[in-house]
Chains A and B, each alone.
Chain A
Amino acid sequence: MSNFYDEIEIDDMTFDEETKTFHYPCPCGDRFEIYIDDLYFAFDDLEKAGGELPADEISNIATCPSCSLQILCIGELQDVIDIYEKMDIVLPA
């Protein structure tokens, strides 16, 4: 059984320009969150590994600050790069 509450496409998440985070509602009433740079590096690692990583190395995970649940963010590195470009944010080094 997956340890994640759900798998959510980043397209279905909301990007907050102010905090530069992707977020998605958590059933506890708070929000799952992941910072854009963290997601960028997570997808970058995943892409370099050919799309598969050992469970303990997966980091495209959004967490909820108020509970123990986590979601797995689904998408491509290019999807995140598109957000950087759209929002005029500098890509991480």
Chain B
Amino acid sequence: MEMVSLGIPDCEDKDVCVETFDASSLSKLIAYKDIPFTNNKNKSCDIKLLKCGGNHTLILLENGILLGSGELRELCNDFQLFNGWCVLNYRLQELVAPELTNLTSASIIDSISTCWDSSFIGIKFLQENTIKIFSFGLQFKSELGRPSGSNRYLIMESGPDCESLTLHSCLYTTISRFQYTNNNVSLYGWGLNNKQQLFRYVTKADKIVTVPKLLDEYKDNAAIDFILGKDFLFILNYTEDYIECLGNEKLKASIAKNVPSLRKMAHITAMWSSVHFIYEDNRLVSLGNGSLGQLSLDGNKLKPVKLLQCGSEHIIYSSIEAPHIVTSWGWGEHGNCGSFDKNKNENEQKIFTSPNNILNIQENKNYAKISNVYGGCATTFIKINKAVNIDKMSNNRI
């Protein structure tokens, strides 16, 4: 199986960083082009979101340009800018235009998400102040969110006065969070509900949620967030200092026992099968599946966190004290946690039980700052600022 999700034109695992995308060259290429679903006011080519599916990756830029690499299914097109990366906006317009009543309405791609073999794109319509979600790709467990027999890409639309959309997917399940100008929040979910991660099911048919279903609404309470894993969903209600745990029973019990309050929480992130809480005092509490070293630092105090994100089964971390270094631990079989130090005892599955250096930008005079990290399926992406330009690098497999 060819793995091309890194946008790098070869199929070997990488355990050292390789440049895959240069946003500065993109800004020159698109300077005078009228690209659909982009923002006329914000021309920034900075990376807003990066999401990884099983075998594809999407990058959304601040200006609304959407790029993709890997198995993009019907979004795939010939508008290739770099090796492996193509602009998806034109193809997106072709596909969704028949479903839009007002094509002239100003609109911008606002949010993205990726299931295993599918993609979700949220488009904000600026005049109407609404956001529509479209789905593309293949489905195995109704994860596209389309009613049976429907070929429409549009799967749902917010109400009026919608301020923002957060989309997140894991494996076959997706959650959308709409936030309105009156501070109301609504959460919808669809796809696989096999462990009751979306809601408690009554019949076997509820294990698959074919169209977006309203999970909950929060009136005048925008302090709502969520964490989604392979078989769990945690709804974080910061106002009421409450975590609603759905799905994986073992994890629910662990949370109840080990995570008393959201008030002292600085950061929460999840892999497919584990969840990681960083307290304000930098103490890390890791719960869930630890068979691949994912929980190795549970109970430790980390150096103050600058960046912390999860891939499928690994953590990527950079500290405030050493902001020029990116480290990782957990499952690194494909090079996604970097290479094994020669002094360490390498194991077959390349399980890293302590932070392993992936990148030190002080070793490259062209790099000025590490500005973000992203994790995918045994993939790690690092966003680096040069003196004036922005690059993104990746390590691991394609």
Query: Which residues of B lie under 8 Å from residue A26 when comparing CB positions?
Result: 377
Chain B 267-296, CB-CB to A under 8 Å as 1, else 0, gives 000001100000000000000010110000
Interface residues of A in 1-32 (CB under 8 A from B): 1-2, 5-6, 9, 11-12, 14, 25-31
Query: Which residues of B lie under 8 Å from residue A68 when comparing CB positions?
Result: 333, 348-349
Q: Is the CB of A12 within 8 A of B378?
A: no
Cβ distance A4 to chain B, nearest Cβ, rounded Å: 8
Tell me, in angstroms, the Cα distance from A69 to B378 when the chains sit together: 12
Q: Is B106 part of the contact surface with A, judged by Cβ < 8 Å?
A: no
Chain B 316-357, CB-CB to A under 8 Å as 1, else 0, gives 000000000000000101100000000000001100000000
Nearest B residue to A65 via CB reads B1
Cβ distance A23 to chain B, nearest Cβ, rounded Å: 9
Count A-side interface residues using an 8 Å CB cutoff: 20
Q: Is A78 part of the contact surface with B, judged by Cβ < 8 Å?
A: no
Q: Is A67 part of the contact surface with B, judged by Cβ < 8 Å?
A: yes
Q: Is B72 part of the contact surface with A, judged by Cβ < 8 Å?
A: no
Partner of A66, one of B3, B171, B331, B379: B3
Nearest A residue to B313 via CB reads A27
Q: Is the CB of B377 within 8 A of A66?
A: no
Cβ distance B332 to chain A, nearest Cβ, rounded Å: 11
Q: Is the CB of B397 within 8 A of A28?
A: yes
Q: Is B186 part of the contact surface with A, judged by Cβ < 8 Å?
A: no
Contact A1:B291 (CB < 8 A) given known A30-B1, A67-B333, A68-B333:
yes
Q: Is the CB of A30 within 8 A of B312?
A: no
Cβ distance B301 to chain A, nearest Cβ, rounded Å: 26
Chain B interface category by residue count: 20 to 34
Cβ distance B351 to chain A, nearest Cβ, rounded Å: 10
Cβ distance B378 to chain A, nearest Cβ, rounded Å: 4
Q: Is B7 part of the contact surface with A, judged by Cβ < 8 Å?
A: no
Tell me, in angstroms, the Cα distance from A6 to B5 when the chains sit together: 24
Contact A14:B141 (CB < 8 A) given known A2-B291, A25-B54:
yes
Q: Is B194 part of the contact surface with A, judged by Cβ < 8 Å?
A: yes
Partner of B3, one of A5, A14, A29: A29
Q: Is B374 part of the contact surface with A, judged by Cβ < 8 Å?
A: no
The residues of A with any CB-CB pair to B shorter than 8 Å are 1-2, 5-6, 9, 11-12, 14, 25-31, 65-69
- A and B contact pairs by CB, cutoff 8 A, 25 listed: A1-B291, A6-B289, A9-B194, A14-B140, A14-B141, A25-B116, A27-B313, A27-B378, A28-B312, A28-B333, A28-B377, A29-B5, A29-B54, A29-B376, A29-B378, A29-B379, A29-B397, A30-B1, A30-B54, A31-B1, A67-B333, A68-B348, A68-B349, A69-B333, A69-B349
- In the complex, besides A6-B273, A28-B333, 12 extra interface pairs with C-beta distance below 8 angstroms are A5-B292, A9-B194, A11-B194, A12-B141, A12-B194, A28-B397, A29-B312, A29-B377, A31-B1, A66-B3, A67-B333, A69-B333
